[in-house]
Amino acid sequence: MKIIKDWGLKAFTGFKTKRRLGMVLLLAVILVGGAAFWFQKQNKDAIAQVQYEEAQVKREDIVIGLDSDGNIEFSKVTLRFGVRGTIAEILVSEGDTVKKGDIIARLDDRDYQDQYQLALAKLQDAQDQDTTSLLDRELSIKSTETELEKLRDEYKEMETISEAYSANELKMKKLELENKEVEYKNLLKKYELDKSKGISQDQLQVDMAKEDLEDTILYAPVSGVILGLANKAGESLIDEDDFATIHENNAVKATTKVIEYDIGQIKVGQKVYVTVEAIPDKKFTGKVSKVNALAAEDSSGLVNYSVEIDIDDPGPELKDGMTASVSFVLKEVKDCLTVPYKAVKMVNGKQVVTVLDGKGQQVQRQVKAGFTDGTSVEILEGLRVNETVVYPRAVTPKTTTSSGRTSTQSGMPASTSNEVFIQRSR
């Protein structure tokens, strides 16, 4: 009986041990399977995040530039009448094109005509008086000259027969002759002075009156377009009032400020691209025309320098005062084949891209890349225009919020999909 009990106990103990071992093995299988499933799911999720973008090989420019904010400024000329008065006539309208020398407007000139005619009359009177005075002086000079000649003859005769005259008589005659010579010389000097002096004061009055009369007509000092007129016919103005503004020769500038750390890269004649907020799809070309040597300091203490750019072909779209973005060209490659920068990868030490073949299949092709601005890259060899390249992009996974709605995660590095693509391509 005891033997049976011992055998039963041993059998039960052995059965219990085998059962535990089986449970351990089962648990291990479940854990391994679960881990494999989890890793497989994670790998599928990672692969699912990779989608491919397509881009055509195109021909364009690649530019590296120094960017700055600025404004559009027209080359403007402000016009004023030189005198005050009432506007009699305006011969132009805003937007009209004028040439240098064209008449812009006229003032009522009747008062200025009267002043000019009065000045002319005064000048004529002065000329008549001066002529009469000069004739009188000429007559006086002739008379004095005759008297002088007579005295010279008398003194010469007295000297010839000096014994007939006393020493005192000879002395008095000589003194009389010397005085007459001095009188004659003084008359000549006064005559020449009066003749050269003329009527300068009266002539000045005429010139001033004529200038005032001419200032009643406003001429265009330059060719350009009338931007604005400040007054209407019949209104009064003074000589300090602005009347018209002309956009000179359609010249348009962009002005900006460049900080001291970058100003060394800016040179006169340097190529510049300009865009304005109002016309975002159009790019204007220009050149640096002036770099101000005098520094300016803003409220934060930052030192900057004013730079002017002449825009080559501004067009009518540009308006004075528009906000502009200025890009100073530091390096540029014109008319080259380009693909997105992300499309080119290094595989086994070679530059490659993935191209769609004629059947729409993805195939790798070796290329030779050149200049890049970090967004596009120049392709020197290996591709043709309009071919399609594909490259992976990371797709942000969707997560479920507590409300049950879906949201998009952000902040995934752009290199994630690229790294996956490199690994898969290998």
pLDDT of amino acid 137: 82
pLDDT of amino acid 262: 93
pLDDT of amino acid 173: 85
Q: Tell me how far CA of residue 242 lies from CA of 76, 92, 196, 238, in angstroms.
A: 13, 16, 42, 9
Q: Tell me how far CA of residue 113 lies from CA of 88, 116, 132, 181, 216, in angstroms.
A: 14, 5, 29, 50, 10
Amino acid symbol at 379: I
pLDDT of amino acid 402: 36
CB 270 within 8 A of CB 288: yes
Distance CA 419, CA 186 (A): 111
Residue 168 sits at the vertex; the CA angle it makes with 163 and 172, to the nearest 5 degrees, is 115
Which is nearest to 96 in space by CA: 228, 223, 226? Answer: 226
* Number of neighbours of residue 79 by Cβ within 10 angstroms: 19
- 214's torsion region: left (phi>0), alpha (psi -120 to 50) or beta? alpha
DSSP state, residue 5: H
**pLDDT tens series, the chain, 426 aa:** 444 444 444 444 554 555 555 565 666 656 656 655 555 655 555 444 568 889 999 999 998 989 999 999 999 999 999 899 999 999 999 999 999 999 999 999 999 999 999 999 988 888 777 788 778 888 888 988 898 898 888 888 888 888 888 888 888 988 988 898 898 899 888 878 777 765 578 888 999 999 999 999 999 999 999 999 998 999 999 989 999 999 998 899 999 999 999 999 999 999 999 999 999 889 999 999 999 999 988 888 889 999 999 999 888 889 999 999 999 999 999 999 999 999 999 999 999 999 998 888 999 999 999 999 888 999 999 999 999 999 987 555 544 433 333 233 333 233 333 332 322 232
Distance CA 53, CA 214 (A): 73
